[in-house]
Amino acid sequence: MNEKELANKITQVLVDKKGVDIVQIHVGNLTTLTDYFIIVTGTSDRHMQTLAESVEEELQKEGILPRPSEDRKNKSWILLDYGDVVLNVFDEESRRMYNLERLWADGDILRIEELIRKHE
């Protein structure tokens, strides 16, 4: 699975689990850290956990595991690093505070809700 397919698979899981304001940012031409950042907001601590766990479970079926990271005691931001794709699951306040969309504004930004509305 290439990085675009991986980003799309993660995004589809987030859509299915009702993630809020899902954004894919292609940054491969800006940094060597990763090719894609995916950002999503969860509506509660439990919803954030469900989003992250659902992505992990779906990718594990393909034999894809995230890189080890800190535990999930930080309830405002969950990070899953898949190398070519990094998933950031935020609560609303932390997403506004860290504002990764602004930080990576030179990347190609795809707002998933806008795309879905165009195809409805």
Domain harbouring 71, CATH code:
3.30.460.10
Rounded to an integer, what distance in angstroms lies between the CA atom of residue 120 and that of residue 46? 29
At residue 60, the pLDDT reads 97
Rounded to an integer, what distance in angstroms lies between the CA atom of residue 66 and that of residue 81? 5
pTM of structure: 0.91
Cβ atoms of 90 and 40 within 8 Å: the answer is: yes
Task: Please give the structure tokens belonging to residue 45.
Answer: 């601590």
- Residues of the chain under the 70 pLDDT cut: 70-74, 115-120
Angle CA 41–70–16, to nearest 5: 30
In the chain, how many domains are there? 1
* Domain housing 28: 3-118
At residue 69, the pLDDT reads 76
